[in-house]
Amino acid sequence: MSSTGQLACQFNPASLADGRISEAQLVRLWTIFARSSPTFWSSSGKLLKIIRPGYVNHSSGPDIFEATLEIAGITRTGAIELHLHPESWYQHGHHHDPGYNNLILHISLRPGKSLGIRRQDGIEVPHLVLTKSIEFKRFVRQTGPVELFDRQLDRRRISDYFTAAGVAWLLHQVGYLWRLPPTRQVFQPLIESLGFTYNHRAFRGLARRISAAEFYQQLTRYSKVAELEGWLLGTAGWFVNRAGRAVNRSIRRRRRCWRQISGRTLIEQAGYWRFAAVRPQAYPHRRWVLFGWATRRLSISWERWFWQVGRQALSKANPSVYLKTRLLELFRFPRGSYWCYHYSFTDPRRDARAAVGPAWAEQLIVNLWLPYLYMRAMKTADYDLQREVEQVLRCYPPVLENRRTRLLARRCNQFSEFQWESALQQQGAVLIYKYGCKKLNCENCLFG
């Protein structure tokens, strides 16, 4: 046996014949077998098909949870329990445990006495004997030695695993930016980031259709506020989206300016922008106008500003705080503007100048700003700058919290007490989820 944090032993098909296999190894063998979505018959003659193999449970309760099976033509999701012998179900007292009432399948390696598998609520679940399954026998003959977990993983190994995945994510993000034209490497992803959850597709479509050179030119063309904001809203198709709906006097003024400009609408599909379940201060057209004003304040391109401010930040004691401060200072409406007082309900005590918050700024820094600096360093072969950017990411506090990071953190806590140490680890977890968990590509995953 190996020590904690290492893969313990290898399973050889001959272990089935001489009985040298534990229940933990059987669970691991089943997870590998289940990835091929085999079809087989239960001991009672029901046709079983695996749709989703589920996840290994390393704590108390059933061995597999969140598995999806098609049983006699009916799709069910629940838990799976595995034993070497069917009698172990009753010997372990599972039939008295309500924690097993979500069981949908019981599996044993070998046949035993003819005992039905009943849960605590009295419902009988299908039972499968692996050594009687033709598909499993064929799998065992064709499979070579398979590594099995037999001990817990230590926290350091899990942390190193996600850090390595985070470096892979960084190179993946750099590759995406490298393929964009130089004038759109920050401009396009920055517009896409304004979409949040409900309008991500809309802002992504707008970012891909609008010309960066035309956008910079038009911002300097209009001197009046109504003309500039009318051009921004009309270009994004907001007037088309709100056609037939009552608007206030300020919006009507901007709509008249847009009609006089006779500009080109990039998004003409009605209902393209979503407002339901979105806070008024985070409405998409409000963020789009704010982006226009922020761009006008720069007087230079976004690529140049990201590069200059990013280099300055690396010389500071706390680069992440400096970058976030500069970004939030830029993305604020001037006090007294329509977009400020209208969305604060004309209450002077409420500050509605910001349409984006610190969480958005931190995710933009991690997902765009630092990868952009890393890409520029790679183009100029500046290895010192590459190391500085990577060090900032390794020390950047965790900022991402979504269902992907929560899922993988929950999986890690089954092995060891685990907490995210940096934003780089979280981005590595997202990469693992995208190309591993989401596609059920578990062959090379540390957790099976």
Q: What would the pLDDT profile of 137-159 be if each residue is shown by its tens digit?
A: 666 555 444 433 333 456 777 78
Q: Answer whether residue 446 is part of any domain.
A: no
State the pLDDT at residue 189. Answer: 94
Give yes or no for residue 8 having a pLDDT over 50.
Answer: no
Q: What is the pLDDT of residues 223-244, one digit of tens each?
A: 888 888 889 988 888 777 665 5
Mean pLDDT of all residues in 399-406: 78
Q: Answer whether residue 175 is part of any domain.
A: yes
Residues 61 and 210 in one domain: no
State the pLDDT at residue 42. Answer: 75
The number of folded domains in the chain is 2
Q: Answer whether residue 251 is part of any domain.
A: yes
- Separation CA 410–CA 413 (nearest Å): 5
- Does residue 56 or residue 174 have the better pLDDT? 174
Query: Which amino acid, residue 68?
Result: T
Residues 68 and 172 in one domain: no
Q: Answer whether residue 425 is part of any domain.
A: no
State the pLDDT at residue 439. Answer: 54
DSSP 350-389: S----SS-HHHHHHHIIIIIHHHHHHHHHHTT-HHHHHHH
Query: What range defines the domain where residue 45 resides?
Result: 9-148
Residues 276 and 345 in one domain: yes
State the pLDDT at residue 145. Answer: 40
pLDDT-above-70 percentage for the chain: 79
Are the beta carbons of 210 and 183 closer than 8 angstroms?
A: no
Give yes or no for residue 160 having a pLDDT over 90.
Answer: no
- Does residue 85 or residue 185 have the better pLDDT? 185
Residues 130 and 185 in one domain: no
State the pLDDT at residue 220. Answer: 87
Full-model pTM: 0.64
Query: Which amino acid, residue 71?
Result: I
- Does residue 393 or residue 165 have the better pLDDT? 393
Residues 304 and 388 in one domain: yes
* Closest among 106, 163, 219 to 431, alpha carbons compared: 163
User: Residue 328: helix, strand or coil by DSSP?
Assistant: helix
State the pLDDT at residue 138. Answer: 62
Q: Which of 98, 124, 148 is the last residue of a domain?
A: 148
